[in-house]
């Protein structure tokens, strides 16, 4: 009787293990497939700063020179002298502007950390960094932003924000 119970229990657990192994194999295959569908998109920073006129956090896609001119004025709204507006070939390129909005002290930054092409569209990952508790910062309001250039695309662009805390020593 004990021998029969032992055999049944062994068979029961061995079946569960093989089902689990199959599930793991399926997940591994799906993960590999998902990795193959994602590719990095090259981009370059055009300008960044911390004294814009963007009071709230926002992400903008700029596809014309007129949009660029309007946003350039807002990016450098608090600067006494604005840098010259760069000319962009909007036939082949587009710009992304990420703004963090008003921050109470210095030490805050925003940047695009990656752009990836997926089967669903374009995923732009933005890294928001704030100062840690041990950091000494200016007591001035700042408005961080970054403007980047990337190849023009008709795919849907999705933004994802990742928060980070800068450690100060």
pLDDT in tens, 51-84: 999 999 999 999 999 999 999 999 998 888 889 9
Judgement on whether residues 69 and 121 belong to the same structural domain of the protein: yes
If one counts the domains in the chain, the total is 2
> Containing domain of residue 76, as a range?
39-166
Judgement on whether residues 21 and 47 belong to the same structural domain of the protein: no
The pTM of this model reads 0.76
Judgement on whether residues 21 and 87 belong to the same structural domain of the protein: no
The Cβ of residue 124 has, within 10 Å, a number of other Cβ atoms equal to 23
Q: Which of 114, 124, 112 is nearest to 155 (CA)?
A: 124
Judgement on whether residues 10 and 52 belong to the same structural domain of the protein: no
Q: Strand 58-62 relative to strand 39-40: parallel, antiparallel, unpaired? A: unpaired
Q: In this structure, are residues 151 and 41 in contact, taking their beta carbons and an 8 Å threshold?
A: yes
Judgement on whether residues 11 and 32 belong to the same structural domain of the protein: yes
What confidence score (pLDDT) does residue 48 get?
A: 95
What confidence score (pLDDT) does residue 1 get?
A: 56
Judgement on whether residues 47 and 125 belong to the same structural domain of the protein: yes
């Amino acid at each position: 009787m004990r021998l029969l119970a032992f055999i049944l229990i062994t068979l029961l657990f061995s079946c569960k293990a093989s089902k689990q192994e199959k599930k793991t194999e399926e997940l591994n295959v799906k993960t590999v497939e998902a990795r193959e569908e994602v590719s990095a998109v090259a981009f370059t920073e055009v300008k960044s700063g911390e004294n814009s006129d963007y009071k709230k956090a926002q992400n903008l896609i700029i596809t014309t020179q007129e949009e660029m001119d309007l946003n350039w004025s807002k990016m450098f709204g608090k600067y006494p002298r604005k840098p010259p507006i760069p000319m962009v070939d909007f036939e082949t390129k587009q710009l992304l502007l990420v703004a963090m909005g008003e921050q109470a002290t210095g030490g805050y930054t925003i940047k695009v950390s990656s752009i990836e092409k997926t089967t669903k569209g374009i995923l732009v990952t933005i890294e928001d960094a704030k100062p840690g508790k041990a950091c000494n910062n200016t007591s001035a309001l700042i408005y961080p932003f970054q403007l980047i250039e990337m190849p023009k695309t008709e795919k849907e662009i999705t933004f994802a924000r990742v928060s980070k805390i800068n450690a100060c020593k």
